């Protein structure tokens, strides 16, 4: 009889939790948080890589609008359309259905598809939910709070995104660290308001490790997922191409190339899962702050 551990891509290493995994859901993410188990997330854009990530034990897959940069060759995420996000979300969902169907799928609402009104946000979210996403992500704080509340009240789980918000790169003046000095308190207030509005996840991108650790303690009902935000968050996310060392530009300092020492994408993703779960990634010493 075939071992239940075996996937089309190989047998997960013993430390991988994949063998005993059930489909990830919001209650399951809450349980992980309560047990102190770190949440693992990677971006995914197509069926094959999504299937490998599922087999390797990744808890959550973000169909990020970073696909504009890594798949379409754009210089920012601003040009990504909702129809493109729908296409990639459907592809990722079909991919995980070919393996274990385990990961929680987050669809990114692209620029210009939720800013106009709460109703516009609901229409856009419906496109991604009907494509198979379990949750949608939108960027920013303050004005987004009422949009988040509107979506959550209507049955759409929401992941917020604070710190470096790539869709507003032109307003921010570049891909820079956020949340230093006086802006830290503003970010804290925005995060508390988003939790209050019902956001159950919050990506924190390129903010000081001390701030993201503080936010994580302040947000028991909203799971913080860090990217370049230190090791104090409830989970971690990386852009898949970055952690495989195949991006078009220079990797940010906080990224680790998980292909180093591995023989396959599957092994690299399993190594990422192990490193996040055992706390060996990220390494705060590698951060500029």
Q: Name which position in 60, 125, 237, 244 contacts ligand KIV (CB under 6 A).
A: 237
The smaller minimum CB distance to ligand KIV, of residues 96 and 239, is found at: 239
- Which residue's beta carbon is nearest to the bound ligand KIV? 64
Q: Of the ranges 30-38, 49-57, 58-66, 256-264, which one interacts with ligand KIV (CB under 6 A)? A: 58-66
What residues have CB less than 8 Å from 63, skipping those under 6 apart? 43, 44, 45, 85, 88, 89, 92, 105, 106, 107, 108, 128, 133
Identity of the residue, 54 or 205, whose beta carbon is nearer to ligand KIV in the bound complex? 205
The DSSP secondary-structure symbol of 43 reads E
Q: For ligand KIV, what does the binding mask look like between residues 200 and 229, x meaning CB under 6 A?
A: ---x-x---------------------x--
- What lies within 8 Å, CB to CB, of 13 at 6+ separation is 267, 270, 274
| Distance (Å, whole) CA 277 – CA 16 | 9
Measured from the CB atom, the residue of 7 and 207 that comes closer to ligand KIV is 207
Answer for which of 90, 108, 190, 267 binds ligand KIV (CB under 6 A) is: 108
Query: Phi-psi region for residue 183, left (φ > 0), alpha (ψ -120 to 50) or beta?
Result: alpha
* Site residue total, ligand KIV (CB under 6 A): 11
Determine how many CB atoms are found less than 10 A away from the CB of residue 146. Answer: 13
Binder of ligand KIV out of 7, 16, 66, 233 (CB under 6 A): 66
| Contact call for residue 239 and ligand KIV (CB under 6 A) | yes
Angle between helices 82-97 and 118-130 (to 10 degrees): 30
Identify whether 267 is a catalytic site residue: no
- Taking the chain, what is the end-to-end CA distance rounded to the nearest angstrom? 52
> Which residues are at the interface with ligand KIV (CB under 6 A)?
43, 62, 64-66, 108, 203, 205, 227, 237, 239
């Amino acid at each position: 009889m075939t071992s239940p551990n075996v996937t089309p891509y190989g047998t997960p290493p013993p430390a991988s939790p994949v063998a005993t995994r059930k489909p990830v859901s919001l209650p399951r993410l809450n349980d992980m948080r309560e047990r102190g188990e770190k949440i693992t997330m990677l971006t995914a854009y197509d069926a094959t890589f999504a299937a490998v990530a599922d087999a390797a034990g990744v808890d959550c897959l973000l169909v990020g609008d970073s696909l504009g940069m890594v798949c379409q060759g754009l210089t920012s995420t601003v040009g990504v359309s909702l129809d493109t996000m729908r296409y990639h979300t459907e592809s990722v969902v079909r991919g995980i259905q070919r393996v274990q169907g385990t990961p929680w799928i987050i669809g990114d609402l692209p620029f210009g598809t939720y800013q106009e009104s709460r109703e516009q946000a609901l229409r856009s979210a419906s496109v991604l939910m009907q494509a198979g996403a379990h949750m949608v992500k939108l960027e920013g704080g303050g004005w987004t709070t009422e949009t988040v509340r509107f979506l959550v009240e209507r049955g759409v789980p929401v992941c917020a995104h604070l710190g470096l918000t790539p869709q507003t790169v032109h307003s921010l003046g570049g891909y820079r660290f956020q949340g230093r000095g006086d802006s830290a308190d503003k970010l804290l207030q925005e995060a508390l308001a988003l939790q209050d509005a019902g956001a159950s996840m919050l990506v924190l991108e390129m903010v000081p490790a001390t701030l993201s650790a503080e936010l994580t303690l302040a947000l028991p009902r909203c799971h913080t997922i860090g990217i370049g935000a230190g090791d104090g968050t409830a989970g971690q996310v990386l852009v898949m191409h970055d952690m495989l060392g195949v991006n078009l530009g220079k990797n940010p300092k906080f990224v680790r190339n998980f292909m180093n020492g591995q023989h396959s994408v599957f092994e690299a993703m399993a190594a990422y899962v192990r490193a996040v779960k055992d706390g060996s990634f990220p390494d705060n010493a590698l951060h500029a702050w």
